[in-house]
């Protein structure tokens, strides 16, 4: 069995082009739900936005780096952890925030804004922390990742379809209303099936190596959820805001992460397996945390008698 750092998942250029196009369609469908208000809303919640930004793009990558120093994982696993931590929040986080009785408006606004900010912050965090951890720095040098090229690709895959979807919503709201739900459901389903097909083609690698990342992902995800909540608690935000920020920090857009891995890292095995297992696990942990929060809301207040 090959060392994990030498494994490259099989994904041909034609499939990669289709995957990029599907991600763009997914983002377009998401944007049909967004308006300028979703961005300007943050102007009236500056503290919550600052904490959300801090949790997503400062705390999560830095905490990930410290976790890597403690665990000393294989270089490709470390680079996968850094990449996942550098991704913006996933769209499913809005659904989970609603299930957790969080501030859904804040969750939607943070997801939209962090997607735009990711154009700059995702490549910066990947290259900065990847080069800071010397074992992973060797892989970055071998692959020759260009941060500027990555930023341009992120802009094309995320920002352009986001802007087009919002434009359709603003100029043709009736059309956007008809397209919104079917497009979101179909595009996300196709995206999920395409990723599943890519993993199925490399299933022997996934089964062989997932044990090496199983508990790493569980711990990494817990660091995101707990840290996001802790930062919001330290900033004295309201409980619904704390929950939304925790979920945004702990539920990353791993589908986008996999696209970056196939585009820029040649399907590097450790990175892909980290992102794939994270994509499964954060759904489980997110829904479990949401249920726990709802359970707390239903629990009677303790008696003082």
Where do the DSSP E strands lie in 88-180?
none
Confirm whether 3 is domain-assigned. Answer: no
What are 4's two structure tokens? 């994990």
Confirm whether 302 is domain-assigned. Answer: no
* Identity of the highest mean pLDDT range in 113-117, 181-185, 237-241, 266-270: 237-241
> What's the pLDDT band for 115 if we cut at 50, 70, 90?
confident
What was the pLDDT predicted at 34? Answer: 78
pTM for the full model?
0.84
- Distance, C-alpha 23 to centroid of its chain: 13
Cα gap 154→252, rounded to integer Å: 15
pLDDT at 133 over 70: yes
**Mean pLDDT score across all residues of the chain:** 84
In degrees, rounded to 5, the angle at the alpha carbon of residue 97 between the alpha carbons of residues 184 and 124 is 75
In degrees, rounded to 5, the angle at the alpha carbon of residue 251 between the alpha carbons of residues 205 and 9 is 20
Confirm whether 301 is domain-assigned. Answer: no
Confirm whether 2 is domain-assigned. Answer: no
pLDDT at 12 over 70: no
**What is the three-class DSSP state of 89?**
strand
Confirm whether 300 is domain-assigned. Answer: no
Q: What is the pLDDT of residues 203-249, one digit of tens each?
A: 777 777 777 888 999 999 999 999 999 999 999 999 999 999 999 99
- Distance, C-alpha 41 to centroid of its chain: 22
Confirm whether 229 is domain-assigned. Answer: yes
Domain total of the chain: 1
Range of the domain at 280: 12-295
Confirm whether 5 is domain-assigned. Answer: no
CATH number for the domain spanning 219: value is 1.20.1530.20
Confirm whether 7 is domain-assigned. Answer: no
Q: What is the pLDDT of residues 162-200, one digit of tens each?
A: 889 889 988 998 888 888 888 767 776 777 777 677 667
Higher local confidence (pLDDT), 70 or 138 = 70
Kindly state the average pLDDT of the residues 259-280: 84
């Amino acid at each position: 069995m090959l060392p994990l750092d030498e494994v490259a998942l099989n994904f041909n250029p034609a499939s990669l082009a289709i995957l990029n196009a599907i991600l763009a369609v997914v983002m377009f469908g998401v944007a049909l739900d967004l308006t300028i208000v979703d961005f300007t809303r943050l102007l009236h919640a500056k503290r919550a936005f600052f904490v959300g930004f801090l949790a997503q793009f400062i705390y999560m990558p830095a905490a990930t780096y410290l976790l890597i120093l403690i665990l000393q994982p294989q270089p490709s696993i470390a680079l996968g952890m850094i990449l996942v931590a550098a991704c913006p929040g996933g769209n499913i986080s809005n659904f989970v925030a609603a299930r957790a009785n969080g501030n859904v408006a804040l969750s939607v606004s943070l997801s939209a804004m962090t997607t735009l900010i990711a154009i700059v912050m995702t490549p910066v965090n990947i290259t900065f922390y990847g080069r800071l951890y010397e074992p992973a720095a060797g892989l970055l040098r071998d692959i020759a990742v260009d941060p500027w090229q990555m930023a341009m690709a992120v802009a094309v895959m995320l920002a352009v379809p986001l802007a087009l979807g919002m434009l359709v919503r603003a100029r043709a709201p009736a059309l956007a209303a008809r397209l919104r739900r079917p497009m979101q459901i179909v595009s996300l389903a196709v995206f999920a099936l395409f990723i599943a097909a890519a993993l199925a083609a490399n299933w022997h690698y996934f089964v062989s190596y997932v044990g090496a990342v199983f508990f790493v992902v569980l711990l990494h995800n817990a660091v995101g959820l707990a840290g996001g909540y802790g930062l919001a608690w330290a900033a004295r935000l309201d409980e619904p805001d704390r929950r939304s920020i925790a979920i945004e920090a702990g539920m990353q857009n791993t589908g986008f992460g996999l696209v970056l891995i196939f585009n820029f890292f040649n399907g590097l095995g450790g990175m892909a397996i980290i992102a794939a297992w994270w994509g499964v696990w954060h759904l489980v942990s997110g829904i479990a945390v949401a249920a726990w929060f709802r359970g707390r809301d239903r629990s009677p207040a303790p008696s003082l008698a």
